Amino acid sequence: MQNEELELQQEKSPEQGKTGKDAPVHVPHKKDAHANPAAPPNKQASVAKRTDSFLYGIPQLGLSRVERQVPLNEPPPMPANADLKYLGKPTPRYDGVAKVTGAGKYTADVYLPGMLYARMVGAGVPHARVLAIDTTAAERYPGVRAVHVIQHVLGNAELRDPSKERPSRYPIVRYMGQPMAAVAATSQAAADEAAALVKVQYDPMGFVVDRDAARATDAPSVYPGPADQGGTAGGGGGPANVPQVGNVHGPERKNVGDVARGFAESDVVVEGEYYTQVQTHSALETHGVVADWKAEELTVYASTQGTSSVRNELSEIFKLPKSKVRVITEYMGGGFGAKFGAGNEGVVAVELSRKAKAPVRLMLDRREEHIASNRPDSHQKLKIGAKRNGTLTAIQLTSYGTAGVGTGAGTAGPATNMYNCPNLLTEEYDVFINAGPGAAFRAPGHPQGCFALEQAIDDLAEKLDLDPLEFRGRIDDSPARKVERQIILEKTDWRNRHRAGADPGPIKRGIGLSQSVWYRFVNLNSSCEVRISKDGSVELMSAVQDIGGGTKTMLAQVVAEEFGIPPQSVVIRIGDTRYPIGPDSGGSVTTGSISPAARNAAHQAKQHLLAAIAPSLGVAPDQLEFKDGRVSVASDPSRSYSLRQAAAKMPTDEVSARATRVPDYTRDKITYGGVDYVELAVDTETGRVHVERVLGVHDCGRPMNPLGVISQINGGILQGISYALFEQRIMDRGKGYMLNADLENYKILGAREVPQIDVILIENYIAQSSTDAAGIGESAGIIALAAAIGNAFYNATGVRMRRLPMTPARVLAALGKTDQEMHA
């Protein structure tokens, strides 16, 4: 190792952000053809570094070593999983017993003395001005302690064109169920009854809940404008290429090379239109909080993917110092991207608690949950050109999608980032409709984008008379996916698959696959404290939350590995903003962000321990080594002590260390992904599609807990099947409400539809942090499954399914068994 003074690109420290800004996220610098020229320059700072040699690569392709310059206080490079004791080993959930016995407390399980129960009042029409809200009857209802009406901030804004819409005392209703008010009472039943007594007087406006209808020039406008934002003398203004005409916002355009030239140079072109539906998040635990407003501190128990994001927003909204807002998420029942920030329910619960001077629980009911958030739908037009030798010449994607009253319906991620293509043009449009807002949903845009891209790639392979796997090998330079495709070849009957539609009989079986891509993001707001007590017990503390992915287990493994003690003996205290700040759990950032901080804190705590006990052992600290859970004198191995014995020699009752995530060692663009293989049966008489087997081969850097990673992939595969075959929000075009906002009519995959699932993980050492870990949440099956099912369906029947979900009615229509084409 050699020490050097290097210029380091400095990331913002967690608290350096401007007031009101959220967590900085470290984005790798891009080197490829789609590099972002607008990447913000970072300030330079001088940081002492050393050079370490790291394991690099994928075992199946041969491991090598690379040198990285790392900060001086980084722990030594970690060996391969095979050489570790706890990390990389299948480890049961740290809190599994607490979860299955009910001992684990979710937000809805929190009971505080004197706690009130709240219910939101949702808009009863899809689009209207609110003339009056009368809460008199609700306030008089027995047990009611507080009523809160959501009001706009008045007087601080003027419409750009006042003639388009008059200022309103209340928010304009833009979708059925939009939060209007809330009631807190001594029981949930009383709150529910009282909420129904809130009288809202509407001045209805025209509405539209259908994406295609909303694109018409004479469609009712969800928003009164404007087309774009003009610049001022001081600068600003929206980008000129994002206009809005009526309800259509966009396009967001990416243009690389020259697609017209690319298509002119192509030998083969495939073109198709693909449709995907709105999927609601349907987390088992609905959005909700328990808010407890006290003069000295606001405490909020929240079902959130980001304790810090909730604290930061409530701090700003209620003008409280962050130090006086505490957010707790001990257990969390799913979010899938929809639970960041305080949310309407969080703000309203705090308002009610402040008014009632009592804790208030506000959990959305299932109907509200379905309306609160969703994955936008899409209508994609995709065209791909290729040469006879199997190289891509051009990709052109135009997509329209609706995120209801919000934006975020883009689908271009896979088309942009999966394959090598010199000419790319993507144009993404958001279409506003009077329906609940879209939100991030597990790999936003990617299941939609993959559904189109990966089926088109199969079509292209067929036109080129190439095996789809071999074709992907020619256009995909990801080493991980190369290994994953090879494993698919070895573990399945791929080579012997029949030609499309060749299976005789009414039950037709087919096989297909799809690839996925996701990205390495790192959140530097990731800190841990590790404490060693004199009795030898070890604790880790961080505000990071475990949203179900197994963060507690993984952190226990990290600390256990560092100390050489069993994971079960490490106490993990997380999900509380009183602890060092943790990252929001979204975009598969959690493990890759927090695990290096945990290891570094454990490593430094260990050094503190050695320094503390060295005098009593009569040696210098650097003569002590920590190995296999024991502290030994290097020059005299007979002097060896267990952690408990060593800690007992500390002069104080405890030592601790806190570490914060440092930036990745390089700023290269790094992606993850997988290849998912599907075997299915199509009943051509009933239209039923039954997925019989899925093999998922995936990579996520160093798999920290294979059991946990596989569990996430199992979940992603199931969610992907559910998306492909069952789930669909259905809107009433005449009335404007969601027809199936419940779990009876909103069909989600059940036990009978679960196939055999096999998962194979590959190790991919990238030498970027002290753990080399990454997340799996996004790329875990959900991205690829719909496309893989589509390709398997084509192999089974010879018919291409371009519309989701693949319901029996749609299947029969596609097979020509019915006269009616399904467009719902």
Partner 1 sequence: MSEMITATRCRCLRSKSSYGAFGEDLEALESTIGATTTYWCLKTMGKAGPDEHYVHKSLCRDGRPCYESGNEE
Contacts by residues 241-248 (CB-CB < 8 Å, ≥ 24 positions apart) = 245/217, 246/214, 246/215, 246/216, 246/217, 246/219, 246/221, 247/208, 247/214, 247/215, 247/219, 247/221, 247/222, 247/223, 247/431, 247/432, 247/433, 248/214, 248/215, 248/400, 248/429, 248/430, 248/431, 248/432
Sign of the torsion formed by the C-alpha atoms of 771, 776, 777 and 779: positive
- Strands in 570-574's sheet, in edge-to-edge order, are 570-574, 538-542, 527-533, 654-660
Site for partner 1 in 424-483 (CB under 8 A): 426, 428, 430, 432, 437-440, 442-446, 449
Spatial distance between the Cα atoms of 579 and 327, rounded to a whole number of angstroms: 10
The verdict on 41 binding partner 1 (CB under 8 A) reads yes
Q: Of 50, 85, 99, 254, which one interacts with partner 1 (CB under 8 A)?
A: 254
- Residue holding tokens 């304790």? 307
The CA distance from 125 to 223, in Å, is 16
Q: How far is the CB of 427 from partner 1 (least distance, A)?
A: 10
For residues 329 and 545, the answer to whether their CB atoms sit within 8 Å is yes
Residue 438 beta carbon to partner 1: minimum distance, rounded to whole angstroms: 5
Query: Which CB sits closer to partner 1, 223 or 641?
Result: 223
34 in Cβ contact with 425 (< 8 Å): no
Q: Minimum Å distance from CB 46 to partner 1? A: 22
- 235 near partner 1, rule: CB under 8 A: yes
Please, what is the minimum distance in Å from the beta carbon of residue 464 to partner 1?
Answer: 27
Nearest to 368 by CA among 186, 191, 121, 184: 121
Site mask, partner 1, residues 126-165, x = CB under 8 A? Answer: ------------------------x-xx--xxxxx----x
Q: Which is nearer to partner 1, 223 or 275 (CB)?
A: 223
Rounded to an integer, what is the distance from CA 530 to the centroid of its chain?
A: 27
Sheet holding 248-256, edge to edge: 244-245, 248-256, 424-431, 392-401, 378-386, 268-276
Closest contact distance (angstroms) between CB of 226 and partner 1 is: 7
226 near partner 1, rule: CB under 8 A: yes
CB of 450 to partner 1, least distance (A): 12
Residue 215 Cα distances to 218, 220, 616, angstroms: 8, 10, 78
Distance CA 679, CA 796 (A): 9
Q: Which among 169-177, 192-200, 211-219, 260-268 is the span making contact with partner 1, rule CB under 8 A?
A: 169-177
Q: Which CB, 373 or 764, lies closer to partner 1?
A: 373
In angstroms, what is the minimal distance from the CB of 574 to partner 1? 16
Site for partner 1 in 65-124 (CB under 8 A): none
Among 3, 13, 33, 39, binds partner 1 (CB under 8 A): 39
- With contacts defined by CB under 8 A, name the span among 68-76, 360-368, 578-586, 729-737 that binds partner 1: 578-586
Nearer to partner 1, 143 or 238 (CB): 238
Q: How many degrees, rounded to 5, is the angle at CA 328 between CA 350 and CA 288?
A: 50
For partner 1, which residue of 52, 74, 252, 454 counts as binding (CB under 8 A)? 252
How are beta strands 689-699 and 756-762 bridged, if at all?
parallel
Dist CA 224 CA 213 (whole Å): 17
Q: Which of 225, 506, 615, 651 binds partner 1 (CB under 8 A)?
A: 225
Which residue, chain included where needed, has tokens 């949440």? 777
Binding-site member from 5, 40, 218, 505 for partner 1 (CB under 8 A) = 40
* Binds partner 1 by CB under 8 A, chosen from 70, 183, 342, 700: 342
Minimum distance, C-beta of residue 2 to partner 1, in the bound complex (Å): 32
CB atoms within 10 A of CB 637: 10
319 binds partner 1 (CB under 8 A): no
According to DSSP, the residues that pair with 430 across neighbouring strands are 249, 401
- Please state the separation of Cα 365 from the chain's center in Å: 23
Cα–Cα distance for residue pair 688/813, rounded to 1 Å: 12
Answer yes or no: are the C-beta atoms of 531 and 559 closer than 8 Å. no
Can you spell out the DSSP letters for 587-602?
Answer: TT-HHHHHHHHHHHHH
313 binds partner 1 (CB under 8 A): yes
Query: Is residue 174 involved in binding partner 1 (CB under 8 A)?
Result: yes
Instruction: State yes or no: residue 257 binds partner 1 (CB under 8 A).
Output: no
Count of C-beta atoms within a 10 Å radius of residue 474: 17
Span of 294-302, 338-346, 561-569, 680-688 interacting with partner 1 by CB under 8 A: 338-346
Q: Does 250 bind partner 1 (CB under 8 A)?
A: yes
CA–CA separation, 752 and 750 (whole Å) = 6
Asked if 340 is part of the footprint of partner 1 (rule: CB under 8 A), the reply reads yes
Of 192, 149, 196, nearest to 363 by C-alpha is: 192
C-alpha 192/C-alpha 198 separation (Å) is 11
For residue 23, the minimal CB distance to partner 1 (Å) is 6
The span from the CA of 130 to the CA of 204, in Å, is: 8
Query: Nearer to partner 1 by C-beta: 39 or 245?
Result: 39
Q: Applying CB under 8 A, what is the total number of residues that bind partner 1?
A: 109
Within positions 654 to 713, which residues make up the interface with partner 1, using CB under 8 A?
A: 669
Q: If you count them, how many residues does the chain have?
A: 824
Q: Which of 9, 73, 168, 188 binds partner 1 (CB under 8 A)?
A: 168
Site string for partner 1, 7-26 (x = CB under 8 A): -----x----xxxxxxxxxx
* Binding residues among 582-611 for partner 1 as defined by CB under 8 A: 583-587, 589
Taking CB under 8 A as the criterion, the residue among 141, 202, 223, 641 binding partner 1 is 223
Measured from the CB atom, the residue of 306 and 512 that comes closer to partner 1 is 306
Closest listed residue to residue 372, CA positions, set 330, 329, 409, 340: 340
Closest approach, Cβ 32 to partner 1, in A, equals 10
Among 122, 246, 337, 510, binds partner 1 (CB under 8 A): 337
Query: How near is the Cβ of 516 to partner 1 at its closest, in Å?
Result: 13
CB of residue 406 to partner 1, shortest distance in Å: 5
Instruction: State which of residues 338, 675, 689, 724 lies at the interface with partner 1 (CB under 8 A).
Output: 338
Q: Which one of 107, 135, 178, 455 is in contact with partner 1 (CB under 8 A)?
A: 178
Binding mask 763-792 for partner 1 (x = CB under 8 A): ---------------x--------------
Binding map of partner 1 across residues 391-430, x = CB under 8 A, - = no contact: ------------xxxxxxxxxxx--xx--------x-x-x
**346 or 536, CB closer to partner 1?**
346
> CA 453 to CA 395: how far, in whole Å?
10
| Residue whose CB is less far from partner 1, 306 or 536 | 306
Q: Which stretch binds partner 1 (CB under 8 A): 236-244, 471-479, 645-653, 804-812?
A: 236-244
3-state SS assignment for residue 514: strand
Q: Are 586 and 308 in contact (CB under 8 A)?
A: no
Residue 236 makes contact with partner 1 by CB under 8 A? yes
43 binds partner 1 (CB under 8 A): no
Nearest distance, CB of residue 779 and partner 1, angstroms: 11
Helices (H) and strands (E) in the chain, counts: 18, 33
183 pairs with which residues across the strands?
A: 119, 147
Instruction: Give the 3-state secondary structure percentages of the chain, helix then strand then coil, rounded to 5.
Output: 25, 30, 45
Closer by beta carbon to partner 1, 655 or else 780: 780
Residue 205 CB, shortest distance to partner 1, in Å, is 12
- For partner 1, the closer CB: 448 or 632: 448
**Which of 266, 286, 299, 312 touches partner 1 (CB under 8 A)?**
312
